[in-house]
Copies of this chain bind each other. A is one copy, B any other.
């Protein structure tokens, strides 16, 4: 996946070390059979089976009869191209996660197991789902066809009834302008028609590589002809488990478009964007995870993404080369546990979390603050500020990461480590508030170089400090007033950081402000013809300049996962559903109209769901699981009511 990105005419693999599976492994399983049993072994890799430790007497036959009684099966398996995998479905002997596996590092663990439930469905053949899509429109531009698929999509272009001799040049565009610019579009294919015809099946040639586009412009040599062009849309068949509707159709449109934007980026892993980079970025994924909890609740893609981001030891560079992105990984794991209650996954990843934290903690300066090494990228956001020295945002993320580690260590029974992480988290946040808080400006300054604060004030550290509850009530008020709602403080241009900005404002009860911001910011993209949300949006730009980024006229991604944050904002702060205990064992429902006449919708809560239906006069709510509490206000007074987990609607008059 990390090498699927292309830029113009070449591959653009990610610029970090890529780690692979362990190629050489061994499975073991102890059985006790009343009578002998024949099993058929399907393996991806070179395997050998032996019984009861007699490893000099190995067998590679796929059909084997196991003797009755109690015996230990050992199967060594080697595969250096695909993940080694084993499938047995005997009458009693079946592969499952109760088998153990090791990579010969003294590390017997339970084997991984997923939905590959037949020998004809090996893991290496895993592919996302496909479904045909047709262009909604075709017109000639400079004599060549420009096809419009109606909205942003992703998949494999197909040519039907292709004939003739010559070359085809396909320029892809998320915008018309991009498709019509073969010299500057990001994605382009040049194909030899003879090869295509040779590779056609039943008269149709499907391109080998999937791409993101809405438009394609096909420049063909004169002797090349075809009947039609379509595409195979490629996607994860997620369930849309959330919904949101309200009295403002524009908000409804924003919500639906957000779901589609997130869905397009929900793939083998959560991607940043489907045109570019098609990579797995930890900071982007941190938000996609949260959006996912308020929509598809697809934990498989979350787990895959967390595992892929972390990679293997030894660590020499940060996740994605970015200091903050290492820190987001801990917080993502923390959120995962809170939303799912899945301690097993935490357990499996704990050692890797410890070594990542060790790696991070080696980078603290004499004040105890984490700083980037020369080879590190300290990102924070696409914005015009310097990240030299110790950046306040990084300290807050580190502190939150340490809190997560403290929680994990405690849950896994290492009280000493838990206390140690907890103490360090407190020290770092205390130092951060002490060193970076500017009384005159009423917020946390951006960075500190050589032990001296620089005057720059940004929203970033302040909003994270609010989110993670590191501020006193007085500090919170000051931050809202002097930083978040202060037009003198530089505005945030990326949906990435608007996510946190608007979440914090919701947490401070600024729902109406947030609704208006959604309308102007996300609504602004829709007004410009967006069918999915963008990587960055600056309302002051005009025309095709909106599409430029990174010094390329079409460099901007127009379908970026972080653009989908209204899912999170509307689910968590308008429908108001929040877990209080891991896996939604207990949760709060605290809906806010935020100036809307009415709203209704659903949020998945682990295996169950909550539905909310609110207008100015009443709240209706139903839940299918967990200990839910409804929070609401009548005549300015807060109230709380227990929500039964029986799936029946309850109603509160306001």
Residue of B nearest to A18 (CB): B24
Q: Which of A48-56, A146-154, A407-415, A448-456 contacts B (4 or more CB under 8 A)?
A: A48-56
Residue-by-residue, is A177-219 near B (CB-CB < 8 Å gives 1, otherwise 0)? 0000000001000000000000000000000000000000000
Residue of B nearest to A105 (CB): B316
| Residues A570-590 near B (CB distance < 8 A) | none
Q: Are A56 and B317 in contact (CB under 8 A)?
A: no
A14: Cβ under 8 A from any B Cβ = yes
A23: Cβ under 8 A from any B Cβ = yes
| Residues A93-132 near B (CB distance < 8 A) | 103-107
| Residues A31-87 near B (CB distance < 8 A) | 46-50, 55-61, 76, 78, 80-81
Contacts of A81 in B (CB 8 A): 80-81
Q: Are A17 and B104 in contact (CB under 8 A)?
A: yes
Contacts of A57 in B (CB 8 A): 7-8
A10-B48, A317-B104 given as contacts; is B16 within 8 A of A56 (CB)?
Answer: no
A23-B18, A24-B18 given as contacts; is B48 within 8 A of A12 (CB)?
Answer: yes
Q: Are A55 and B9 in contact (CB under 8 A)?
A: no
Partner of A76, one of B9, B11, B61, B107: B11
A613: Cβ under 8 A from any B Cβ = no
Q: Are A12 and B107 in contact (CB under 8 A)?
A: no
Residue-by-residue, is A539-565 near B (CB-CB < 8 Å gives 1, otherwise 0)? 000000000001110010000000000
| Residues A1-32 near B (CB distance < 8 A) | 2-3, 6-18, 20, 22-24, 26
A249: Cβ under 8 A from any B Cβ = no
Q: Are A3 and B78 in contact (CB under 8 A)?
A: yes
Alpha-carbon distance A48/B7, docked complex (angstroms): 9
Residue-by-residue, is A621-643 near B (CB-CB < 8 Å gives 1, otherwise 0)? 00000000000000000000000
Contacts of A78 in B (CB 8 A): 3, 11, 13, 18
A91: Cβ under 8 A from any B Cβ = no
A17-B104, A24-B17, A106-B375 given as contacts; is B12 within 8 A of A76 (CB)?
Answer: yes
Q: Are B49 and A10 in contact (CB under 8 A)?
A: yes
Contacts of A314 in B (CB 8 A): 313-314
Residue-by-residue, is A133-147 near B (CB-CB < 8 Å gives 1, otherwise 0)? 000000000000000
Contacts of A8 in B (CB 8 A): 56-59
Q: Are B12 and A55 in contact (CB under 8 A)?
A: yes
Contacts of A12 in B (CB 8 A): 48, 55-56, 58, 76
Q: How far is the CB of A191 from chain B (nearest CB, A)?
A: 13
Among A13, A57, A552, the most chain B Cβ lie within 10 Å of the Cβ of: A13
Contacts of A103 in B (CB 8 A): 17
Partner of A550, one of B6, B9, B50, B56: B56
Q: Are A3 and B317 in contact (CB under 8 A)?
A: no
A3-B24, A24-B3, A317-B105 given as contacts; is B59 within 8 A of A9 (CB)?
Answer: yes
List 27 A–B pairs whose Cβ atoms lie within 8 Å, in order of A's numbering: A3-B24, A7-B57, A8-B57, A9-B48, A9-B60, A9-B61, A10-B47, A10-B58, A10-B60, A11-B47, A11-B48, A11-B78, A13-B76, A14-B24, A15-B26, A16-B24, A17-B22, A17-B105, A20-B80, A56-B186, A56-B552, A80-B81, A104-B317, A104-B321, A105-B316, A105-B317, A313-B313
> Lowest 7 A-B CB distances belong to which pairs?
A10-B48, A10-B58, A18-B24, A10-B60, A105-B316, A106-B375, A313-B314
Chain A residues within 8 Å of B, Cβ to Cβ: 2-3, 6-18, 20, 22-24, 26, 46-50, 55-61, 76, 78, 80-81, 103-107, 186, 313-314, 316-317, 321, 375, 550-552, 555
Known: A9-B59, A56-B552. 5 other contacts (CB 8 A): A9-B61, A10-B48, A10-B49, A12-B56, A107-B316
